[in-house]
Every structure is written in structure tokens, then in C-alpha cells.
């Protein structure tokens, strides 16, 4: 028999593809949290694999030819969308034309000239569709796709 949780209790419960953080101020069992978790998995944008809303900043790495003129609008698009979330987002860049960039690309098995890596991943599901954050904004992904993923990660 599982013990009951009373008062203000927090429970992390792994349910399906999402890590749900559930809180309650009344007596509950872990089974109650499982039911609540199963009913709350209809987020518009969910990372593939496990995800959790975190108090840590979301890490975005813009990796590619970040100073190359044709890719500048893509870099600017990422900055524009991320700015909406303020301190919840930390952006860094890796220039593929540098020695460090080449090492980063090799270590992370990246092949595209531009990669938008969000919390270590560049593939997410948005509204049931697989979105790959590589290459130019407006081709494989849009600012709206990026906004949906960031909103789901920060819990907005």
C-alpha cells in the first residue's frame, strides 16, 4: 500500500513522454497524480523524449556559420523570439568557421550549416508535427515553431 501525501506536497511523476510537476494541498495518493498527469499532456509543443518545466534558464546554442550574411536573419529570428522570455532563456553561439566550432560540430555530430539547439536537442514536436531546428528560419522551421517550443519549456 502506498503512503498518503498530506498538506502541501510536491511530487515529480514520470508519465508518458512528459515529466509532470504536480502539486496539491489536499490528501492524495501517487495514483491521483498519475491521472492528473495523463489528462494534462495535451501541450502544443513537446520535446521528443522527456521534458520538464524548469526554473533553470532554457539553453539555446546557435551553432553554425553565425557570421555568414545569408544566415544572419535566422540568428536574428532566434534572438527576437528568445527576447520575449527574458532571463528564462540563455543564448550562446558557436561559429562553425572557428577551430572551437569545428570541434563542437564534430563532438555533437552536427552536419547542417545552422543548428538551433534547445536544451541539447534540435528536434521537437509542435502541434503533432516533427520540427527540425536546422538551416534557415522559414524553411524547416518558423519563428512560431520556436515560440511554441520555448513557451512549453518555460511554462508560459
Beta bridge partners of 90: 59
pLDDT band at 107 (very low <50, low <70, confident <90, very high): very high
Residue-level pLDDT at 29? 34
SS3 95: strand
| Distance in angstroms (rounded) separating the CA atoms of residues 17 and 50 | 5
Q: What is the pTM of this model?
A: 0.64
19-28, 40-49, 79-88: which range is least confident on average?
Answer: 19-28
| Distance in angstroms (rounded) separating the CA atoms of residues 20 and 32 | 13
Q: Name, in order, each residue with C-beta under 8 angstroms of 9's C-beta and a sequence gap of 6 or more.
A: 23, 24, 28
| Distance in angstroms (rounded) separating the CA atoms of residues 45 and 141 | 13
Spell out the alpha helix ranges (H) of 1-128: 30-39, 72-83, 99-107
Is a pLDDT exceeding 50 seen at residue 137? yes
Q: Please, what are the domains in the chain?
A: 9-42 (no CATH), 58-154 (3.40.30.10)
Residue-level pLDDT at 155? 86
Amino acid at each position: 500500500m502506498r503512503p498518503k501525501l498530506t498538506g502541501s506536497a510536491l511530487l515529480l511523476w514520470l508519465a508518458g513522454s512528459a515529466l509532470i510537476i504536480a502539486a496539491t494541498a489536499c490528501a492524495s495518493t501517487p495514483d491521483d497524480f498519475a491521472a492528473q498527469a495523463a489528462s494534462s499532456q495535451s501541450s502544443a509543443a513537446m520535446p521528443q523524449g522527456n521534458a520538464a518545466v524548469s526554473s533553470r534558464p532554457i539553453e539555446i546554442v546557435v551553432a553554425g556559420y553565425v557570421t555568414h550574411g545569408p544566415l544572419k536573419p535566422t540568428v536574428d529570428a532566434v534572438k527576437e523570439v528568445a527576447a520575449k522570455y527574458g532571463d528564462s532563456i540563455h543564448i550562446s553561439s558557436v561559429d562553425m568557421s572557428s577551430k572551437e566550432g569545428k570541434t563542437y560540430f564534430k563532438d555533437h555530430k552536427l552536419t547542417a550549416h545552422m543548428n538551433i539547439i534547445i536544451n541539447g536537442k534540435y528536434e521537437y514536436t509542435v502541434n503533432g508535427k516533427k520540427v527540425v531546428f536546422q538551416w534557415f528560419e522559414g524553411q524547416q522551421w518558423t519563428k512560431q515553431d520556436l515560440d511554441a517550443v520555448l513557451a512549453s519549456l518555460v511554462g508560459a
